[in-house]
Structure 1
Amino acid sequence: MQSILALLQFYNTYDHDDIYFSVAENFIYQFDQIGNMSLIEIAEKSHCSPSTITRFCRHLFYSSYPELRLELSRLRQHYVLNVLSTKHKVSTLENKMVGGKNIIARSIDSLLNQLESSQVDMFLQMLLSKTKIGFYGYSIPQSVWLLQIDLLMDGKKSTAFLDPRYQIEDIQSLDEDSFAIFFHYTNDEIFTLEQMMKEASQSGAKVALITNTSTLFSNLNVDFLFEFSYQSLALSFMIVNALITHMSIEYQQKNMNLTLEAIDLA
């Protein structure tokens, strides 16, 4: 999974005027075809020279484009095998906590217990049914990148730009086939986030908010609200990461049959 995580890092964090952003974007969204694409073809798609592609691959610690291409072409099968092994493991997050972290385990368990199963199912259904998933807020939890792998394997486009400018721009690309997921667990940037949620809702997208401070919002334009009790910033960050990890595991299991069919293992 190292290769796809590295691509997502370039895609989510690099300046959009940087040529490596364009290269990473094309690697991600040509994912299903990359195994059959030559160096010249991927360079043309990325509007750069073959030597730029080679340098990009070396930035990811691959000696050449063919080496990275082989790794990416094998990734789907490795991913499915990993999901199959996960299916037989305990998926409750509390059991994964290290001893001595009981406060974290209790907080996560409390959050998951507050969520109605129907609410979680509807959230997962949005992930399954929409073709564009956008993640927005300050800051976006790291576990989102793992969920992005699940979405990519399912042929979906997702964005989780760290730069607020690109988040605001990305809102403009949402439509009725989109799902916008917002994160907020600090007391700042309320107005900006409210405006972004309003625009996302007006675009026809479904909107979810994961927060510990919903009372600070004057107008919630959301379809799904996941709220947990206020904690310190560090603990809140861990809780949100755990929640997204939980959703990722649930998504994998719900999507298992489709994934197996896609690689003819059913």
Structure 2
Amino acid sequence: MDQGQLLKVLKDVADQALTPAAAAGKLGNDSFEELDYAKIDTTRAQRTGYPEVIYGSGKSAKQIVGIVKAMKDSQKSILATRVEQSKADEVLKELPFLKYDAVSQTLTLKDKERVEVGNIAIVTAGTSDIKVAEEAAVTAEIFGNQVTRIYDVGVAGIHRLFAKLDVIRQANVVIVIAGMEGALTSVVGGLVDHPVIAVPTSIGYGSNLGGMTPLLTMLNSCSSGISVVNIDNGFGAAYNASMINRLISEEHI
């Protein structure tokens, strides 16, 4: 716990906003804060460069509220993923400073002091992939990256992709998101000279098999320089892309 956090705990006790017992718990544990239902990792950003993120699916609105309140003591940005609208509405009643995005199903608080670096291009095969793409885009932005969105440029109308190639090639990292058979990843991988992170989605007709078909296509891509995350994992793709983007950006400072 740094001096600023220590002073805040002492002030909260003085203002009777925190009990002495609760303050002792905060002071006695330098790595996580204990809640009845969660342990908040207060030093994750110091260890990894990225703050803890809330996975909202399976958590109640009350639990998300409690976790956010605890996280605000140790980090300036907040990201909760996979939060459906009804749950978000309940959270916002208690925490109106958060912003909800219905497409990506994220709750966020952005660190206004964090400088955006580099550029991550997020490319989707179809409009139906945008939900996963927006989870990636919001995550990347919260982590301090510039993001360029290029949506609906799949191989069924490949001229649409070629029209955006100059923009895509300017990015340090490219996230390609596709359902159906997932062919867009191989095409993009053969046209750019930066890392490509592939995200298979569960979008498609019967033989898409809930995303297994594009997952296997991407894993078996003949284009080099492609890494693949799990089905519908926009968050994971953005996390990896952010790490790569920041390394590249630091090299050019």
Larger Rg: 2
TM range (shorter): 0.3 to 0.5
Select the structure with the greater relative contact order (CA < 8 A; seq sep ≥ 6): 1
TM-score, normalised with respect to structure 1: 0.33
TM-score, normalised with respect to structure 2: 0.35
Greater strand content: 2
Greater helix content: 1
